[in-house]
Amino acid sequence: MNPNLSVPRVVDLRSDTVTLPTAAMRRAMAEAEVGDDVFGDDPTVQRLEARTADLLGKEAAVFVPSGTMGNQIALRAHTEPGDEIVVESEAHIYYYEGGAPAALSGVMCRCVAGRRGVFRGTDLESVLRPPDVHFARTRLVCIENTHNRGGGSLWPLEAILDVAATARRHDLRLHLDGARLWNAAVATGIPERDYAAPFDSVNVCFSKGLGAPVGSALAGTREFIARARRFRKQFGGGMRQAGLLAAAALHALEHHRERLAEDHAHARYLAAALARLPGVGIDPDAVQTNIVRFQVTRQSAREWVETLAAAGVRVLATGPDAIRAVTNLNVNRADIEYAAGVLARVAASEARQTQSSPQADEDPAVPPNSSSAPR
Ligand SMILES: *Cc1c(COP(=O)(O)O)cnc(C)c1O
């Protein structure tokens, strides 16, 4: 076939949230049995909540419209205004949720700097203060697995247990932002329930790698989830015939969990290809799941994003010199090979441009450098 006659390809790697529902998922949605879930009448939502609680080894779960709402309801249910929570300094809860801890729960965030999002019990210990009227009451510790800004990094189970033991010793509650916990489980073979066991509450997303159009769930004890339901209503997250959405999430749980391994393989392929390019900084060994973060040197990340988009490869700039690509359900092996080819062409053309410019005698080799990856 003449390649010039083929339809221009668009490979969208901006996020794993850009996926479109599959035909089978749309059928499951169309056929879902529904009712008014605020009255507790939606059997499909109830099935999703029970299935999620079971996968996470928790007593109960509540379906919510977004991961942000799941996290923020958890903060609200665990704390009182004026309390302090401990979060990693680049955690989604702190970095990407619009200041919600302050706006919705009236809590202060105490940040701990992790290494690619992962910290230890001693790091937690270092920000704790004794009970005293001068101090905010520290109440909750949050962990994110996999860690988004850490580049889809995995929390070792042993580090989780270390932080959890410290938290227990100080009578602190523990929340897991597991938007991509499904990816962690597939990457390591550690079941979701084992990861979830040390936590009082766990938030998971169906709308990321699993490919559902909408929805997350918060899981915990029956008592905690009953309290969380009250805050879901208060925050405006009570939905009526939500079984249409829950059906997509159930379909995703049953059919799209194991295939996350393909996304991880595609991410590794892309990382290995990037590591061979001039003007690109990446530590391919740091790519553990479906997120590929890399640095660009010769042109700004914004310029790279524009050039790549014109060639049909969509990625996100996450800093002046930082780019993120996320593999997902709608991207197959041929797409990822195409994206790697486009990246190679862009890098080569930039290298030529720079060599003919006055800065040409600068060292063109950018060593793979893990410390340049955003933490
Ligand atoms: C995406 C994400 C969320 C939730 O995001 P929503 O867009 O509100 O669904 C929460 N935590 C992490 C780590 C995420 O990546």
Distance CA 252, CA 214 (A): 11
- The verdict on 151 and 278 lying in the same domain is no
Planar angle of CA 327, 28, 206, nearest 5 degrees: 40
Say if ligand 1 is within 6 A of residue 192 CB: no
Say if ligand 1 is within 6 A of residue 66 CB: yes
Say if ligand 1 is within 6 A of residue 146 CB: no
Name which of 251, 263, 267 is nearest 325 in CA terms: 267
Residue 95 — φ and ψ, nearest 5°?
Answer: -95, -35
The secondary element (H helix, E strand) that includes residue 263 is helix 260-275
* 157-213 residue pLDDT tens: 999 999 999 999 999 999 999 999 999 999 999 999 999 999 999 999 999 999 999
**Over 50: is that where the pLDDT of 365 sits?**
no
pLDDT of the residue at 363: 43
- For ligand 1, what atom is nearest to the CA of residue 69? 8
Q: What CATH number does the domain containing 127 carry?
A: 3.40.640.10
Planar angle of CA 318, 322, 327, nearest 5 degrees: 70
339-374 burial, b if ≥16 CB within 10 A, otherwise e? bbebbbebbeebeeebeeeeeeeeeeebebeeebbe
Say if ligand 1 is within 6 A of residue 117 CB: no
Say if ligand 1 is within 6 A of residue 148 CB: yes
> Quick check: is 141 in a domain?
yes
Tell me the mean pLDDT in the region 290-305.
94
- The verdict on 48 and 124 lying in the same domain is yes
Distance CA 75, CA 73 (A): 5
Give the range among 4-8, 23-27, 348-352 with minimum mean pLDDT: 4-8
Distance CA 186, CA 261 (A): 6
Place of tokens 């441009």: 353
- The verdict on 279 and 215 lying in the same domain is no
Give residue 349's pLDDT band: very low, low, confident or very high (50, 70, 90). Answer: confident
Say if ligand 1 is within 6 A of residue 92 CB: yes
> Quick check: is 26 in a domain?
no
Q: How many domains does the chain have?
A: 2
> Quick check: is 136 in a domain?
yes
Q: What CATH number does the domain containing 335 carry?
A: 3.90.1150.10
Place of tokens 């001068």: 134
Picking from 233, 255, 277, the residue at the C-terminal end of a domain is 255
Which residues, in sequence order, are bridge partners of residue 322? 295, 319
pTM of the entire predicted model: 0.92
* 31-40 residue pLDDT tens: 999 999 999 9
Picking from 255, 277, 298, the residue at the C-terminal end of a domain is 255
Q: Whose CA is nearest to atom 10 of ligand 1?
A: 67
Residue ranges making up the domain that contains 218? 32-255
> Quick check: is 152 in a domain?
yes
* 14-37 residue pLDDT tens: 999 999 999 999 999 999 999 999
Picking from 225, 255, 285, the residue at the C-terminal end of a domain is 255
If you measure from the C-alpha of residue 94 to the centroid of ligand 1, how many angstroms do you get, rounded to a whole number? Answer: 11
Q: Whose CA is nearest to atom 6 of ligand 1?
A: 67
